[in-house]
């Protein structure tokens, strides 16, 4: 290899880029990519009530197709640094493993993509046959307001087009090569509020207890499945997470009762269709006798799904040839920035093994960094072949 992913990963891990701090990580990428001939843009996005966040877009080549590597250089806080075997921003190597916050989620993945791209360019006269790009945000672990959504909008306004994207999140469960993510469920949080009439427990005929109505509606919403699953996804799931009345008085029928829930939903729904479905089911069960309302929390967590085809096959084959494992095309787990990218081009997630992400002693086997770089390198070769 022309460039060593371990050296790049260590440089990145030494940047204390806890969201929303840039920590020197994007400056390092800018310098590295510029030296390789990339045009690099750094942009800082703001929004009232949210932290300013730095982002980066880099591209080399102007021809189609444009293959994009996406990722984030921000990391979650390390917690109590004294509980780490090796300091979280020192990037020490012990027993063949590189330690540091972000080792797998996901500075390690970015380092492998950079190393693979630099190697490809070095062996191909410094120019790709199409275009190679990097979309890197500093706002993935935060609220993702000043990160990838705005970065994508910014590139679209400049007329940038993406053909396929690889997001280097730690997609693997146990071993490198076991999982490619081709989708993620959406997530929606809601509150159900039932209003009654407050009164004395000894005179229930003068009151209207909202807890009865709330219990009825909770039962109905839990009972009926939201769907039977889809070709690529398990059934959607609604889970109540809290039931709140807050009544400290023993002889008082409360005036209102609320419950909170979260729905993880598949590609049979959109955020809007799902809200409508839940409201309709509640209205039917209420039969005009229960006074209820829903409050929906703002969500930007829609579904992401990429259908199996030549691109997923190309990635899966590269993974198989390097690791000897046949990767599962999975749609499980929480949300990721792929939910934004999917509106612009097909995207798959493949990176390191996720076992230690967000944990104390986050680390990656040095061998995995070399193997992932070889996988990315193969993908680039085949993509432009």
Q: Which is nearer to Zn ion, 183 or 190 (CB)?
A: 183
Least gap, CB of 357 to Zn ion (angstroms): 7
CB nearer to Zn ion: give 11 or 139. 139
Site string for Zn ion, 154-193 (x = CB under 5 A): ---------------x------------------------
The 3-state DSSP class for residue 50 equals strand
Number of residues near Zn ion (by CB under 5 A)? 3
Would you give the binding string for Zn ion spanning residues 265-304, x where CB under 5 A is met? ----------------------------------------
Residue 112 interacts with Zn ion (CB under 5 A): yes or no: no
Count CB atoms within 10 A of the CB of residue 376: 28
Q: Identify the DSSP state of 4.
A: -
In this chain, which of 105, 160, 337, 362 binds Zn ion, going by CB under 5 A? 105
Which residue has the closest beta carbon to Zn ion? 105
Q: Within a 10 A sphere around the Cβ of 343, how many other Cβ atoms?
A: 12
As a whole number of angstroms, the distance between CA 272 and CA 384 comes to 39
Q: Of the candidates 90, 95, 71, which has an alpha carbon nearest to the alpha carbon of residue 372? A: 71
Rule CB under 5 A: is residue 257 a binding residue for Zn ion?
A: no
- 206-214 long-range contacts (CB < 8 A, ≥24 apart) are 207/253, 208/253, 209/253, 209/254, 210/254, 210/255, 210/256, 210/257, 210/291, 211/245, 211/254, 211/257, 213/257, 213/286, 213/289, 213/290, 213/291, 213/292, 214/243, 214/257, 214/258, 214/259
| Residue of 61, 7, 63, 14 lying closest to 32 (CA atoms) | 7
Nearest to Zn ion of 258, 363 (CB atom): 363
Nearer to Zn ion, 169 or 267 (CB): 169
Retrieve residue 237's tokens. Answer: 């799931």
Shorter beta-carbon distance to Zn ion: residue 54 or 105: 105
Q: Is 362 in the site for Zn ion (CB under 5 A)?
A: no
What x-and-dash track marks residues 32-71 binding Zn ion by CB under 5 A? ----------------------------------------
119 scored as a contact of Zn ion (CB under 5 A): no
User: In the annotation, is 80 catalytic?
Assistant: no
Report the nearest approach of Zn ion to the CB of residue 197 (Å): 49
> Counting contacts by CB under 5 A, is residue 3 touching Zn ion?
no
Question: Which residues, 6+ apart, have CB-to-CB distance to 7 below 8 Å?
Answer: none
CB 62 within 8 A of CB 48: no
Note whether 301 and 187 are within 8 A (CB): yes
Q: Assign residue 95 a region: left if phi > 0, alpha if psi is -120 to 50, beta otherwise?
A: left
User: For Zn ion, which residue of 106, 136, 253, 271 counts as binding (CB under 5 A)?
Assistant: 106
Taking the least distance from each CB to Zn ion, the nearer of 97 and 169 is 169
Catalytic position from the list 22, 54, 74, 208: 74
Question: Does position 139 bind Zn ion by CB under 5 A?
Answer: no
140 catalytic residue (yes or no): yes
Return the active site residues: 74, 140
Residue ranges that bind Zn ion, judged by CB under 5 A:
105-106, 169
């Amino acid at each position: 290899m022309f460039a060593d992913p371990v050296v790049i990963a260590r440089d990145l891990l030494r940047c204390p880029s806890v969201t929303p701090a840039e920590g020197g990580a994007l400056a390092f990428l800018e310098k590295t990519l510029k030296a390789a001939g990339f045009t690099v843009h750094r942009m800082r996005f703001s929004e009232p009530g949210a932290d300013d966040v730095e982002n980066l877009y880099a591209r080399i080549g102007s021809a189609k197709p444009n293959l994009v590597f996406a990722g984030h250089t921000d990391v979650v806080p390390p917690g109590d640094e004294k509980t780490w075997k090796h300091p979280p921003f020192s990037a020490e190597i012990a027993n063949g493993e590189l330690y540091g916050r972000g080792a797998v989620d996901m500075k390690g993945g970015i380092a492998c993509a950079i190393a693979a791209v630099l190697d490809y360019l070095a062996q191909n006269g410094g120019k790709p046959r199409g275009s190679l790009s990097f979309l890197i945000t500093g706002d993935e672990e935060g609220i993702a307001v000043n990160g990838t959504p705005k970065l994508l909008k910014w590139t679209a306004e400049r007329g940038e087009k993406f053909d396929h994207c690889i997001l280097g999140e730690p997609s693997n469960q146990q071993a490198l090569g076991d999982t490619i993510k081709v989708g993620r469920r959406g997530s929606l949080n809601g509150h159900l509020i039932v209003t009654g009439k407050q009164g004395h427990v000894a005179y229930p005929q003068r009151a209207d207890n909202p807890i009865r109505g709330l219990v009825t509606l909770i039962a109905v919403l839990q009972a009926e499945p939201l769907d039977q699953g889809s070709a690529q996804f398990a059934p959607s799931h609604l889970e109540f997470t809290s039931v709140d009345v807050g009544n400290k008085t023993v002889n008082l029928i409360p005036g209102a009762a609320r419950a909170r829930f979260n729905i993880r939903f598949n590609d049979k729904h959109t955020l809007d269709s799902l809200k409508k479905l839940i409201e309709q089911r509640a209205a039917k069960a209420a039969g005009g006798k229960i006074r209820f309302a829903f409050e929906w929390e703002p969500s930007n967590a829609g579904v992401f799904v990429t259908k199996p085809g030549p691109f997923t096959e190309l990635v899966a084959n590269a993974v198989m040839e390097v690791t000897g494992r046949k990767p599962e095309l999975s749609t499980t787990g929480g949300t990721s920035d792929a939910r934004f990218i999917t509106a612009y081009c097909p995207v798959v997630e493949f990176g390191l093994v996720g076992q230690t992400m967000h944990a104390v002693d986050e680390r990656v086997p040095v061998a995995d960094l070399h193997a992932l770089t070889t996988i990315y390198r193969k993908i680039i070769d085949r993509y432009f072949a």
